[in-house]
Structure 1
């Protein structure tokens, strides 16, 4: 595929891993990020980083023309579930209206291919697991609702303007690039595996387990953890699929679930010592089990998770935690 891939939000966690994967696959890449959540150090030095906001249509259009962009992978978004319920206007403005401005820039410059970073949050509390792409979209939070709205916009733009798009609904992104240098670095951190490993490293006093009375094997929540490098692979495959299809959506997960206690026990074995735990009650809206049905992505994209083993996921995250630069 000729031309440059513009990665919005490419300085963030999943975006920066996808940028590395694109570079390794010999794509020309440019990153567009306002650095409100992302990190300048996460972008390879030889990849152009344009600091700007996707809501600035003129800036995005100028960037598209300057770098001869032919396709976009769109990560730029606010993504904290709890915050979305407190600040819905900020989430609709940034995620939905920001995406509309991005699409305006694409239409103005003739770019008609986009891979969209969606989320399993579009499903809410599923009626059954594993969750298939045809499951009902009943999000239980504002963040998930913004993703549903954007997926609908992409469909309407396909019908009206011929926009080609793939929406990737991923489950719990985890791990870090085995080659080192980048990993999960959120502020505040809300994801379980880095919280567990920060407690293991003494960077926080303990990790809290919310609920031990769920109808699961050990009473704690079960989630589908997918390695961030496997997610990056899927974005490249999705981009390539736009050569042969106009619209699709795929779940990205391992198709297997691990409980909170399994995560902690695996981490304790890898780090070689106990990790302080606090027990707390359930959080409202936390389903007992969320597992992806990933057959469509495997079949249609040719995607096969390479780092599906929980040990591999936690080991790469621990390597990052141990060698994380002080910045």
Structure 2
């Protein structure tokens, strides 16, 4: 029997790419997203809808979230009810299934706050700096507690995933790429801030490997990084976007926001040892491809590119 997998947040960047990969491998995939259509439209804050969606599913990839730090700062209540309340609905529904599903929870490098030592490992202390990060720390705690009820769970920690033009326009990589193609200014909030940018194809490949482990009956893993392990400043990222787009764009420097982490890059050691996963798409290659995709859209008669 083909494995039935529910993806919450299925209309997001990662959800779409993982869904494509799982479908190609013969999984039966059901989406669940506030932006979904028909039977795949649903809100994780609605416990009944979540329970109905999980019926007869073998496993759940839980991606649905208020997924940006700045959104959490603007509406802390929505962030908490979605990220924590929505996850509780998934876990509670899972406990009530006749056949307990496995559950993979997407967390974030934000849980570490500002690590004292870099690269960060999965054992780096958790010191969340903002509402979004605190919601993810609480989510990880709930996921780990759910194991006491017999659920097989795993936690993945992600960092600045990019790679598709359909991503949120104000995320830093698509925002820089889009603006560079349009010849617009690139606003850099903290040029020396340093992050770990990971291509969505690499992240998808890691998640699919973890899903296969769960399907094969393996135990859930301790929190695991799917990160590039490479450090890039926002200033360097902006310069690369302008270079690859052959753009006349200028950079506008702005002070960093008080709730943002200043420096992060992680070590993907556990992913390599447990899943034989290593990143394969370097930032330069992934950014070049993304800019080419934006350029294609900009010159397509059916699309108009506007600067962010």
Equivalent position to 2:152, from 164, 172, 192: 164
Do 1:132 and 1:293's aligned partners in 2 also have CA atoms closer than 8 Å?
Answer: yes
1:247 CA displacement: 4.0
Equivalent residues of 1:174, 1:226 under 8 A apart? yes
CA RMSD of aligned residues (A): 2.1
Matches within 5 A, 1:207-222: 207-212=186-191, 220-222=192-194
Q: Which residue in the other structure is 1:185 paired with?
A: 167
Distance 1:282 1:59, change over 3 A: closer
How does 1:124-203 map onto structure 2 within 5 Å? 124-159=113-148, 161-176=149-164, 183-186=165-168, 189-202=169-182
Assess, with a 3 A threshold, how the Cα gap between structure 1 residues 310 and 10 changes in structure 2: closer, same or farther.
same
Q: 1:277 maps to which residue?
A: 251
Question: Deviation of residue 84 (structure 1)?
Answer: 1.2
C-alpha change, 1:263 and 1:153, in structure 2 (3 Å) is same
Decide which of 262, 287, 290 is 1:314's aligned counterpart: 287
Q: Secondary structure at the match of 1:101?
A: helix
Give the structure 1 partner of residue 86 of structure 2. 98
Query: How far off its partner does 1:10 sit?
Result: 0.6
2:13 aligned with 1:13, yes or no? yes
Q: In the alignment, does 2:210 pair up with 1:238? A: yes
Spell out structure 1 runs of 4+ moving beyond 6 A.
Answer: none
Kept after mapping to 2: 8 A contact 1:33/1:49 = no
Aligned residues between the structures? 297
Q: Which residue of 2 aligns with 1:180?
A: none
Change in Cα spacing, 1:49 to 1:25, as seen in structure 2 (3 Å) is farther
Render the CA deviation track for 1:53-102: whole Å, top value 9, x for unaligned: 2233333333333xx31000011110221221232111111111111112
Contact conserved, 1:196 with 1:275, CA < 8 A, in 2? Answer: no
TM superposition shift of 1:133 = 0.5
Matches of 1:33 and 1:92, distance apart in 2: 17
Q: TM-score, normalised by structure 1?
A: 0.84
SS of corresponding position for 2:218: coil
Is the contact between residue 91 and residue 143 of structure 2 (CA under 8 Å) also seen in structure 1?
no
Q: Which runs of 5+ in 1 are unaligned?
A: 41-47, 177-182, 213-219
TM-aligned CA distance change 1:279 to 1:60, over 3 Å:
closer
Unmatched segments (≥5 aa) in structure 2: none
**In structure 2, do the counterparts of structure 1 residues 49 and 24 end up closer, same or farther at CA, with 3 Å as the change threshold?**
farther
> Which of 31, 42, 48 is the equivalent residue of 1:52?
42
Partner Cα separation in structure 1 for residue 86 and residue 257 of structure 2: 30
Which of 229, 239, 253 is the matching residue for 1:265?
Answer: 239
- For residue 211 of structure 2, give the secondary structure of its aligned residue in structure 1: helix
Which of 78, 81, 106 is the aligned partner of 2:69?
81
Asked whether the equivalents of residues 94 and 151 of structure 2 are also in contact (C-alpha less than 8 Å), the reply is no
Contact 1:30 1:49 in 2 (8 A): no
Q: TM-score, normalised by structure 2?
A: 0.89
The Cα of 1:319 is off from its aligned counterpart by 2.9
Q: Which residue of 2 aligns with 1:33?
A: 33
Counterpart-to-counterpart distance in 1, 2:268 and 2:221: 17
Contact 1:222 1:257 in 2 (8 A): yes
